[in-house]
Structure 1
């Protein structure tokens, strides 16, 4: 079911506020990963506020949907969304990446309520997600498993081993999403290890492929709904995004994969996001 204009506007306002909160948070603690968090904002918001069947009051419900953040460095935005949903107090966010905090630099399932899998080493998300999807089938449960990966993450061979296996087993309860922002830690994906036609690769591996604008909440919601109707094979959404989306001097820049924000940069970023500081 397509989003109403009112709901679309509501989610877009939430994305803007979360971007503001992210810059404020990362400036305050002088650490973290802004670029990949900003590129994934609409994807994470649409999933957690519109599509995922999760309950903060019953976080280990065996019938809950599973979400895995394969690109674990985008944890700051995931944490903001989990706290917004009520999985833990929002006051905890200021402890991000601090000693003894349950909010580590990459998500940890043992420490953080609402996190399904420890992710940091890239490539782990899809094979683990496939395992969760197959477990649902074996247990006769209807939950779906979602895995968000970066395009740089697709350079890991383990991703394609899992892709082959998912197609072989017809894992139609597994949905992969590629945050296709074209930039990774040390440069552009094209410079580091060209991926060619990403959609064609997934199609060649037997997956159903949906290409969308990864910053359009309506397109994301529609693609998730469409994926749920596909039977007999897994689906991947290739979401075209911009690293550092919303802050012009961060957009498309590998330096902002992970970099402290200076005072001037903070002031300028917040101004672009509609806040005077």
Structure 2
């Protein structure tokens, strides 16, 4: 059951959230629910078009849009400074920006592709923490990272991407220990499949694109691949005071996909045995 608008408002009243990758997919759904929960939001994107599109979908006061690349230190240093100048504080840093290309094994991945994945998915967390941690110390705020289930279980022809998400999990736990003395919590969400623009592009790059929708439904034990709002609800919980004694947590938002992968494999084995 989704939270009511009244309940949502109480969760983030007067909080300031620095949200990277907040203009589409999971990030856009997070921006919607954070705003409904009473937060002021600084939304970071490296795309002017994406910012323009988000502005047509997000309503209400208290939203600042900043064009910046999370992989560029100077951009994030400036974005943190502009956020503080505009809102006066930062209570939450949500590291949601990420890329997934290419769909390749390690030996087929170019150095440029490898570096791009790590620069955005991992260095982005480094940059926001490096330039934002002093603000979080002032507010005893928290950090939320968007990871992925594949960082734990791996994924075929996605070695570099899986490696970045594994790094996110390790970073989350280490950062939770480092910043606990300051009252700063650090957590991550780990979705499986979620229908976002990035996933739709990814689905067309797969060897059997025609069957990918059924595959994505099947890997989730609950029987369907969700939209980004299910992840946003979990994110809202983790950055709110309701999760005030939770840190270092990698929260699966998977519909049981870690079980569903086995279900798909077992089904395939059964189909093969039927042919013997």
Query: What TM-score do the two structures reach when normalised by structure 1?
Result: 0.40
Which of the two has greater helix per residue? 2
| Greater relative contact order (CA < 8 Å, ≥ 6 in sequence) | 1
